[in-house]
Amino acid sequence: MKEITLKIIDPIGIHARPAQLLTAAASKYKSESKIIANGLEANLKSIMNIMTLGVKSGDEVTLKVSGEDEEQAFEELVGVFKANGLSA
């Protein structure tokens, strides 16, 4: 299992557009991908799960990826967070 904690810097937090990008990236892989924020956990393959977390700017989220292709999935998901201004 790979895990990282990221601080959200997007002024709006995780809204529909970045949630869709995260879902698209996670769905490419067989590994289980989860995000944990505010004491809640969401499946990154479900945009609705992500949106229910209500992640705001300044919140910390933990990304957890486990499975047969976890290394590739983890690297791509961290890249989505950073390339789209969600985290530094």
Beta bridge partners of 2: 65
Q: Furthest-apart CA pair in the chain: how many Å?
A: 34
Catalytic residue, from 2, 15, 34, 56: name it.
15
Domain count, the chain: 1
pTM, whole model, 2 decimals?
0.93
- 79 an active-site residue? no
Give the pLDDT of the chain (88 residues) as one tens digit per residue. Answer: 999 999 999 999 999 999 999 999 999 999 999 999 999 999 999 999 999 999 999 999 999 999 999 999 999 999 999 999 999 8
- Look up the domain containing 50 and give its range: 2-84
Domain of residue 71, CATH code? 3.30.1340.10
